[in-house]
């Protein structure tokens, strides 16, 4: 295998390029149903969202909206909701960081230390997440409840004041987010770390790198693709999530998702909700692009 690897492309590369990808209509025919679906229900909705965000806020769902290119909707949305917006990014960022630490340890343990239990551990990472997201989050509510085991023990060792609580605090919300999005971090990290040739790490220790230097100079850079895709897969849904904030937090932990959902379903203020969605999307895209560029892994996208 290794001996042919260097020479094989000379003969096979042009050959496979030409023959394995067939030209002609069939390709388009296969694509059309899916593309139409995505166009109708992903791309066009996005345009409607842009349009909605520019409607005249004077209208309502029942009387209809006027398109008046109200860019001020954006300004008002930021003015009214900058707090949950920033909080979302802050919570999501912090949760992503914690997920990265926990996920890295777990992925590293599975890839390098689990031996023949590798597959089993991998299955165990995913298994809990087949239970309903909401049911799992609700059980966190019970675990962190006032008078529950954890709160009582923390109060006993005076880490928590007698009136202190965990539920309805930022701690609970971030804890929930970390818990719910951990597999999104672990799986890409595992895929990256598992690919690292163990001999490289041995080579680094052979070349006088202590385990920490070896980790920073060899393992970490090689796992970077997994780090980038893991953090993106965690951060993006976490920033838009409102289930954890709603079930484990209080109105003081309201995230932008709560606001958007309320504006749509309760307040029926579509223009403001649309503008806020757009702002969230723009912020995320901007942060992701900046981040991916900094990490030097553009090819991931």
Partner 1 sequence: MRWLRDHLVLILGILILLYTFVPIFVVVLMSFNDPSSKLIYRFDGFTLHNWLNPCEPEGMCHALGTSIQISLLATIGSTILGTLMAFALVRHDFLGRSSMNLLIFLPMATPEIVMGSSLLALFVAAGFAGQLGFWTILIAHVMFCLSFVVVTVRARLAGMDDNLEQAAMDLYATPRQTFWRITFPLVFPGILGAALLSFSLSFDDFIVTNLNAGNTTTFPMYVWGVAQRGIPMQVNVIGTLMFMVSVLIVVGSEVNSRRRTAKLATR
Partner 2 sequence: MSSSADVAQERRAPARASFDGLRLENLTKSFGAFTAVDDLDLDVPRGSFFALLGPSGCGKTTTLRMVAGLETPTSGGITLAGQDITYAKPYKRPVNTVFQNYALFPHLDIYENVAFGLKRRKAGNVDAQVKEMLSLVELDSQTRKRPAQLSGGQQQRVALARALINKPEVLLLDEPLGALDLKLRRNMQIELKRIQTEVGLTFIHVTHDQEEAMTMADTVAVMNAGVIEQMGAPEELYENPRTTFVANFLGQSNLIEGTIKGRSGDLVTVDMHGIDVSVPAARSHADGDKGWIGIRPEKVLIGDPGEQLDAPGNSVPGGVVSDVSFVGVSTQYLVRMPWGQELQVFAQNTGHRRIYRSGEQVDLSWRPDYAFLLDASQDARAGAQEGTD
Q: Catalog residues that contact partner 2 under the rule CB under 8 A.
A: 1, 4, 7-8, 10-12, 14-15, 17-19
Residues 247-276 that bind partner 1 (CB under 8 A): 247, 256-257, 260-261, 264-265, 270, 273-274
- Token pair 């880490």 is found at 159
Residue list 167-196, contact with partner 1 (CB under 8 A): 179, 182
Q: How far apart are the first and last CA of the chain?
A: 30
Residue 144: closest CA among 247, 237, 238, 243: 247
SS3 9: helix
Q: Which does 210 bind (CB under 5 to 8 A by kind): partner 2, partner 1, none?
A: none
Which span sits near partner 1 by CB under 8 A: 73-81, 200-208, 216-224, 279-287?
A: 279-287
The residue (of 170 and 215) whose beta carbon lies closer to partner 1 is 215
CB of 119 to partner 2, least distance (A): 17
- DSSP code of 251? G
Burial annotation 269-287 (CB, 10 A radius, 16+ → b, else e): bbbbbbbbbbbbbebbeeb
Q: Which is nearer to partner 2, 13 or 67 (CB)?
A: 13
Contact 77, 275 (CB under 8 A): yes
23 binds partner 1 (CB under 8 A): yes
Q: Is residue 119 near partner 1 by the rule CB under 8 A? A: yes
Cβ atoms of 164 and 170 closer than 8 Å: no
71-110 residues in contact with partner 1 (CB under 8 A) are 102, 105-106, 108-110
Cβ of residue 162: shortest distance to partner 1, in angstroms?
20
Q: Which residue's structure tokens are 């958007």?
A: 260
């Amino acid at each position: 295998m290794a001996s042919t690897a260097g020479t094989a492309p000379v003969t096979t590369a042009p050959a496979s390029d030409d023959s394995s990808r067939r030209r002609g209509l069939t390709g388009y025919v296969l694509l059309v149903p899916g593309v139409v679906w995505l166009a109708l229900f992903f791309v066009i909705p996005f345009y409607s969202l842009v349009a909605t965000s520019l409607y005249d806020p004077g209208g309502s769902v029942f009387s209809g909206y006027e398109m008046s290119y109200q860019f001020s909707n954006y300004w008002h949305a930021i003015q009214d909701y900058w707090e949950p917006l920033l909080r979302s990014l802050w919570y999501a960022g912090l949760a992503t960081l914690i997920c990265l630490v926990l996920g890295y340890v777990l992925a590293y343990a599975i890839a390098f230390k689990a031996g023949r239990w590798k597959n089993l551990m991998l299955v165990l990472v995913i298994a809990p997440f087949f239970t309903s997201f909401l049911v799992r989050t609700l059980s966190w509510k019970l675990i962190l409840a006032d008078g529950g085991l954890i709160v009582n023990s923390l109060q006993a060792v005076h880490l928590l004041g007698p009136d202190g609580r965990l539920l309805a605090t930022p701690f609970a919300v971030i804890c929930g987010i970390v818990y719910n999005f951990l597999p999104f971090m672990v799986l890409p990290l595992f895929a990256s770390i598992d690919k690292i040739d163990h001999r490289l790490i041995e080579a680094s220790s052979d070349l006088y790198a202590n385990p920490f230097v070896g980790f920073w100079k060899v393992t970490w850079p090689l796992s970077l693709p997994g780090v980038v895709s893991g953090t993106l897969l965690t951060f993006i849904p976490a920033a838009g999530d409102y289930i954890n904030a709603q079930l484990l937090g209080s109105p003081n932990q309201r995230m932008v998702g709560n606001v958007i959902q309320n504006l749509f379903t309760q307040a029926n203020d579509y223009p403001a909700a649309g503008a806020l969605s757009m702002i969230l999307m723009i912020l995320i895209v901007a942060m992701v692009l900046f981040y991916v560029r900094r990490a030097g892994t553009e090819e991931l996208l």
